[in-house]
Amino acid sequence: MASAVMNMTSGAWDWVSGGLNVPFARAVVFGVHIDGHFVIEVLLVVVILFQLSRKSYKPPKKPLTEKEVDELCDEWVPESLHPPITKEMEEKIQSPILESDEGVHWGVQTGLQLSRSTVVYFKHNDMDSLESTLEKFTRGNRRAEKIRRYIVVEALYQNSGQIAPLDAIVKLKEKYRFRVMLEESHSFGVLGASGRGLSEHYGVPIEKIDIITAGMGHALATDGGFCTGSVRVVDHQRLSSSGYVFSASLPPYLASAAITALDHLEGNPDVITKLRSNITLLWNGLSDIVGLSISSNILSPIVYLKLKKSTGSFEGDMKLLDDIAQHALKEDSLLICTSKKSTLDKCRLPAGIRLFVSAGHSKSDIQKAAESLKRIAALVLSDLN
């Protein structure tokens, strides 16, 4: 079919140009013989120039009358930018449920807020409270199986020095079909026989913990952090994360420092032993301190001291603890940390003093710190006893 059309077009072209060859058979301009082809091409050029030189048509501008404007507004129907939300779609876009310990630190709280999930807090390290919230959510909720749901805890709590009961949490996770997100910033490099964290400490298989996160600014003495889990979780994170995360990778020297710290932990297991020895030494030194009691776990390098008798308000307790910290710094050059909180911090655990024990501390360092705190606490808190 196409070849037939081409043949017809070629024949018509030859017929027209042949017809024009007759009147111009003897025409010669500047020594150039003019034939039918030349005439047709000149005509085409003239037509093209004519079309290019024409002004585009612009209809006259006539403003709309008020009546026409009102009619257009009455007839206008706004179009939705998204399809209508059906009941089925509402179930699919249900926000995740995060069951979090009320004692998690500010960084975890910020992450919970930014996740735009429904956050439910349970009492600090209270497994009965956790089970109660899990039971309340799953009982009679037909959509529970379709909603993403997580238990969010710290392995070693910065705000109390307590250790999360991972074995009990895993049992509840399996019973109510939740996932576990474990924050190990303070336990990584500390808990377990080789410092591998809370799972090693309890002997819980690492596969039972869905997501593990940790900052490397504590035991590894560098910066940055990591998030790990199963291959499925990691692949999902890579595909779904904001593109910004791929332009904020750890600088090589910080990554090298982290690798060196890990190599040191693996090659020197006695570091963990020395750390626990220092923790025990500080515990023994502060066992009879006046007005304060240790509320942290015996294995925690965060030794948390709180008032035996509260003043009745967080601000009043903080004033006494700040006085102790200021006296320790001024008189004995002992730098200690009180549990100051932002007004946005949702953690409402009692105020206290945090002592951070390291394997790098010598025996004399620990003893001097304990003696200084006992003397200053007796001086500042004498009126409360």
Which tens digit of pLDDT belongs to each residue from 36-71? 566 677 778 888 888 777 777 677 778 888 888 888
Under a CB-based contact definition with an 8 Å cutoff, are residues 150 and 180 in contact?
yes
CA separation, residue 128 to residues 134, 159, 169, 316 (Å): 10, 20, 11, 31
> What does the DSSP 8-state code read for residue 382?
G
pLDDT at res. 12: 62
**CB count, 10 Å around CB of 92?**
11
Instruction: Return the structure tokens found at 329.
Output: 């710094």
The Cα 352–Cα 82 span in angstroms is 51
Which tens digit of pLDDT belongs to each residue from 248-303? 788 899 999 999 999 999 999 999 999 999 999 999 999 999 999 999 999 999 99
CA separation, residue 378 to residues 34, 281, 309 (Å): 121, 20, 14
pLDDT at res. 32: 57
Please tell me which residue, 179 or 85, carries the higher pLDDT value.
Answer: 179
pLDDT band at 198 (very low <50, low <70, confident <90, very high): very high
Instruction: Return the structure tokens found at 88.
Output: 């089925």
Q: Which residue has the tokens 């009879």?
A: 288
How is the beta sheet containing 179-183 ordered, strand by strand?
Answer: 118-122, 97-101, 149-154, 179-183, 211-215, 225-229
For strand 149-154 and strand 97-101, is the pairing parallel, antiparallel, or unpaired?
Answer: parallel
User: What sign results for the dihedral spanned by CA atoms 230, 100, 342, 162?
Assistant: negative
Which tens digit of pLDDT belongs to each residue from 65-88? 888 888 888 888 887 777 777 777
The Cα 237–Cα 188 span in angstroms is 22
Instruction: Return the structure tokens found at 222.
Output: 């560098």
CA separation, residue 97 to residues 1, 148, 166 (Å): 67, 6, 20
Instruction: Return the structure tokens found at 229.
Output: 């889990």
Nearest residue to 258 (alpha-carbon basis) of 189, 199, 212: 189
The Cα 26–Cα 5 span in angstroms is 33
Which tens digit of pLDDT belongs to each residue from 325-337? 999 999 989 888 8
Q: Which residue has the tokens 């085409």?
A: 44
Per-residue pLDDT for 215 more than 80? yes
pLDDT at res. 248: 75
CA separation, residue 19 to residues 33, 39, 53, 257 (Å): 16, 11, 30, 91
Under a CB-based contact definition with an 8 Å cutoff, are residues 300 and 156 in contact?
yes
Please tell me which residue, 28 or 284, carries the higher pLDDT value.
Answer: 284
